[in-house]
Amino acid sequence: MSQIEDIPQPPASSQAEGTPRPPSSSLAIPTCETVRQKRKIAELEEKLQELESGQAAKRRETNYYILKGRAIRRIVSLFDSIEDLICENDRRCDNDNDNDNDNDNDNDNDYTLEQDRLQVGYVALNNALPWFHRRASDMEYDDYAHMLKQLRQGADSARGDDTSKLKSLVPDWVNREFKPNLLMDPEDKYNRGFVNDESGRLLCPAELNWNNPIVRAGIRDRTDGYVVTEMSWPAFLYEGYTTDLNNLEKGLFKSKLLVQAFKAIFTSPSSAKEVSGGGDGADVIENNRRAKSIFSGKKVKTHVAQIIKMRKVSPRSIAYVACQLRFSLSSVTSWRSVDGDFDYVQFWGNIVDFFEKAPGRTARSSTERLLAWWTRYRKCSEQVFAAELSETAKANMSVNALAKQRAQIEDALLDSE
């Protein structure tokens, strides 16, 4: 029997009554219209549920990237874009392949200081986000671009939050420590910078004496020899805010104010109050352990260092805090990379290079001890154009002077060997 013969046919009486027979091309079995509509509604509801589920997953993914991106400015790079870090790593991979093919390794170390910073930044990025390299390699371009956008949003948002936080905290710390006659206003930045004696003292280059009225006038008037740029270590970086000009490395990056700013950003503003003059009480890890033991069984608010899984203090985290603190002490009201004669990008780079580009064994040993100290204790009017500086003025600035001193120590050590 054929398949057609198996299909039920309409009753013969229907044709006799004049009811038209279905077209011969349709083999549809009559079904109740209500049932058909219910099936269509069920299908649409299922599709809607799948769509909503996909959107929810997309939102969760977006929020995840934004949250993870908050570590980037703080411990990877304050100013470099994620794309620049990736491009530098890709460029080096291409160079390595070319060198392998040519059997020529002469250019292995032919990289600029800026390129080395970028590459170390890419390594730091993957230490902060261990999944990044693999995921970025496997993604379609649109998903990859979306991920970078959300990471960038999280990074910039965190930097803005830290800037706002320090804006009110730093004046309170300065007022408590120095007890000036004219208190710094936590809400008003116009009375900060070099127009204010206390913030001016902290911003003053290490090689200059703020107590000298000639120096104060020279800085405020921006005369040659007194122009403040990123090529001078500011006093607020030094322990006790004083400098030994014969040993510019002594006490550098050990100031109470710097430790307070670090703790306010990476732990909590309240923890910054525990810092003593020597930096005691700054240990993030130890504080965290104490909190867990004291509040065992109670819910304790997670701090930034825990969220970004920060195990120890890094050079780039110190550089980040130093830039934030310097901006908070200045009279500039909105974040920018250049403040008159002062370039924050280069200032950040100077601090990173101090640690990551130590000139020899003695300098490396010194920076390692300093980082160990940190990890242990972790427990004027706005100018548009920068002034032209003489070579003599540049040479006398503490960044260059310290570099010269470090090189002399290494040369002396080599000569003695």
pLDDT, tens digit, for every residue of 179-222?
988 889 998 898 899 999 999 999 999 999 999 999 999 999 99
- For the cut 70, the answer to whether the pLDDT of residue 323 exceeds it is yes
- For the cut 60, the answer to whether the pLDDT of residue 69 exceeds it is yes
Can you give the three-state secondary structure of 249-300, one letter per residue? CCCECCCHHHHHHHHHHHCCCHHHHHCCCCCCCCCHHHHHHHHHHHCCCCCC
CB 233 within 8 A of CB 399: yes
Radius of gyration (C-alpha) of the chain in whole angstroms: 32
> In terms of pLDDT, which residue wins out, 282 or 132?
132
Per-residue tokens: 229: 């740029």
CB 170 within 8 A of CB 256: no
Q: Which of 8-12, 121-125, 386-390 has the lowest mean pLDDT?
A: 8-12
- For the cut 90, the answer to whether the pLDDT of residue 124 exceeds it is yes
Would you state the pLDDT for residue 28? 76
What is the CB neighbour count within 10 angstroms for residue 315? 22
Would you state the pLDDT for residue 5? 47
Give the C-alpha distances (Å, rounded to integers) separating 188 from 70, 170, 176, 185, 332: 27, 12, 17, 5, 10
- Output DSSP code: residue 27: -
pLDDT band at 381 (very low <50, low <70, confident <90, very high): very low
Mean pLDDT in residue range 370-382 = 69
* Angle 202-205-208 from CA coordinates, rounded to 5°: 105
Decide: pTM greater than 0.75: yes
Rounded Cα distance between 121 and 179, Å, is: 40
- Measured between its terminal Cα atoms, the distance across the chain in Å is 106
340 Rama class: left (phi>0) / alpha (psi -120 to 50) / beta: left
Mean pLDDT for all residues in the chain: 84
- For the cut 80, the answer to whether the pLDDT of residue 98 exceeds it is no
- For the cut 80, the answer to whether the pLDDT of residue 92 exceeds it is yes
- For the cut 50, the answer to whether the pLDDT of residue 145 exceeds it is yes
Rounded Cα distance between 26 and 170, Å, is: 82
- For the cut 90, the answer to whether the pLDDT of residue 396 exceeds it is no
Would you state the pLDDT for residue 110? 80
> In terms of pLDDT, which residue wins out, 199 or 393?
199
Mean pLDDT in residue range 71-98 = 93
Would you state the pLDDT for residue 109? 62
Would you state the pLDDT for residue 239? 96
How far out from the chain centre does Cα 326 lie? 16
Q: Please name which of 167, 371, 350 lies closest in space to residue 282, comparing C-alpha atoms.
A: 371
Would you state the pLDDT for residue 44? 84
Share of the chain above pLDDT 90, in %: 58
- For the cut 70, the answer to whether the pLDDT of residue 105 exceeds it is no
- For the cut 50, the answer to whether the pLDDT of residue 295 exceeds it is no
Would you state the pLDDT for residue 2? 46
pLDDT band at 53 (very low <50, low <70, confident <90, very high): low
- For the cut 70, the answer to whether the pLDDT of residue 6 exceeds it is no
- For the cut 50, the answer to whether the pLDDT of residue 294 exceeds it is no
> In terms of pLDDT, which residue wins out, 47 or 41?
41
